Amino acid sequence: MIEYNVNGKRPIPRKECEEHLQLISFIEEGDLGKASRFLESHLARTAKEKEEIAKNLFG
Protein backbone atom coordinates (compact mmCIF):
# COMPACT_ATOMS: atom_id res chain seq x y z
CA MET A 1 0.00 0.00 0.00
CA ILE A 2 2.85 2.38 0.78
CA GLU A 3 4.47 1.73 -2.61
CA TYR A 4 1.19 2.52 -4.36
CA ASN A 5 0.76 5.78 -2.46
CA VAL A 6 4.35 6.86 -3.00
CA ASN A 7 4.41 6.07 -6.72
CA GLY A 8 1.28 8.14 -7.19
CA LYS A 9 3.16 11.15 -5.84
CA ARG A 10 6.27 10.74 -7.99
CA PRO A 11 6.56 12.47 -11.31
CA ILE A 12 7.88 10.14 -13.99
CA PRO A 13 10.53 12.36 -15.46
CA ARG A 14 12.10 11.98 -18.84
CA LYS A 15 15.39 11.07 -17.16
CA GLU A 16 13.89 7.96 -15.60
CA CYS A 17 12.53 6.77 -18.95
CA GLU A 18 15.88 7.43 -20.59
CA GLU A 19 17.57 5.38 -17.86
CA HIS A 20 15.25 2.46 -18.59
CA LEU A 21 16.19 2.65 -22.27
CA GLN A 22 19.88 2.83 -21.38
CA LEU A 23 19.55 -0.28 -19.25
CA ILE A 24 17.91 -2.15 -22.13
CA SER A 25 20.74 -1.02 -24.39
CA PHE A 26 23.38 -2.44 -22.03
CA ILE A 27 21.52 -5.74 -21.92
CA GLU A 28 21.13 -5.89 -25.71
CA GLU A 29 24.86 -5.22 -26.08
CA GLY A 30 25.54 -8.15 -23.76
CA ASP A 31 27.28 -5.97 -21.18
CA LEU A 32 25.54 -7.48 -18.18
CA GLY A 33 28.11 -6.22 -15.71
CA LYS A 34 27.51 -2.65 -16.79
CA ALA A 35 23.76 -3.25 -16.83
CA SER A 36 23.92 -4.61 -13.30
CA ARG A 37 25.88 -1.63 -11.96
CA PHE A 38 23.61 0.79 -13.79
CA LEU A 39 20.47 -0.87 -12.43
CA GLU A 40 21.86 -0.85 -8.89
CA SER A 41 22.52 2.89 -9.15
CA HIS A 42 19.10 3.54 -10.69
CA LEU A 43 17.27 1.60 -7.99
CA ALA A 44 19.22 3.27 -5.19
CA ARG A 45 18.32 6.70 -6.52
CA THR A 46 14.64 5.93 -6.96
CA ALA A 47 14.44 4.24 -3.55
CA LYS A 48 15.84 7.38 -1.95
CA GLU A 49 13.25 9.51 -3.75
CA LYS A 50 10.45 7.21 -2.61
CA GLU A 51 11.70 7.25 0.99
CA GLU A 52 11.58 11.05 1.03
CA ILE A 53 8.03 11.06 -0.30
CA ALA A 54 6.96 8.42 2.24
CA LYS A 55 8.45 10.48 5.08
CA ASN A 56 6.41 13.46 3.97
CA LEU A 57 3.23 11.39 3.59
CA PHE A 58 3.46 9.26 6.70
CA GLY A 59 6.08 11.21 8.65
Q: For residue 6, what are the CA distances in angstroms to 34, 36, 57?
A: 29, 25, 8
What pLDDT digit, counting tens, does each position of 2-58 carry? 666 666 666 677 888 899 999 999 999 999 999 999 999 999 988 888 888 888 878
Question: What pTM was estimated for this model as a whole?
Answer: 0.72
What number of CA atoms fall less than 13 Å from residue 44's CA on the CB side?
6
- 3-state DSSP call for residue 1? coil
